[in-house]
Amino acid sequence: MLTYTYIEQGKFALTEKPKPTLQNDTDAIVKVTLASICTSDLHIKHGSVPRAVPGITVGHEMVGIVEEVGPAVTSVKVGDRVTVNVETFCGECFFCKKGFVNNCTDKHGGWALGCRIDGGQAEYVRVPYADQGLNKIPDTVTECTGPAKKSL
């Protein structure tokens, strides 16, 4: 699949990578339907995010359709339309319980997607802790990519 990848400081490029697969029981694979470009992506490009790992797919703001879920995922199912949270968080540590999920102490916690692990400027993205990181999009919310429709 095509991914937009952080190659090295100052350089992003479209690269081919294998479609992601489930790595943990709490993972989900999401088919990305829309993704945004964020100023934080530019911070990675400019070398201002030391934790960013060269070779990762960028993108941490996206929506899509659940393609596959690990056996421990209960909050979403295959076919659900979802938003993907920028933060990866376990939901169980001290900080998560207080709502400070960006400080999650899990080794994958915090801003992982599109920074330390492959993100969503790609055809598919693996989302760790899918029960925390995915939220269903109501049926009344469309993915309007053009001018607003009057029928809404």
Judged by the rule CB under 5 A, the positions of this chain that interact with Zn ion are 38, 40, 89-90, 93, 96, 104
Helix (H) or strand (E) holding 98: helix 94-98
Output the smallest distance, CB 140 to Zn ion, in A. Answer: 26
Length, in residues, of the chain: 152
CA distance 118 to 35: 13
* Nearer of residues 35 and 96 to Zn ion, judged by Cβ: 96
Q: Nearer to Zn ion by C-beta: 20 or 120? A: 120
Cβ proximity to Zn ion, 19 vs 102, nearer residue? 102
* β-strand partners of 136: 82
**At closest approach, how far in Å is the CB of 4 from Zn ion?**
14
Taking the complex as a whole, how short is the minimal distance between the CB of residue 89 and Zn ion, in angstroms? 5
Q: Is the Cβ of residue 56 or residue 104 nearer to Zn ion in the bound state?
A: 104
Q: What DSSP string runs through 43-78?
A: HHHTT--TTPPTT-B----EEEEEEEE-TT--S--T
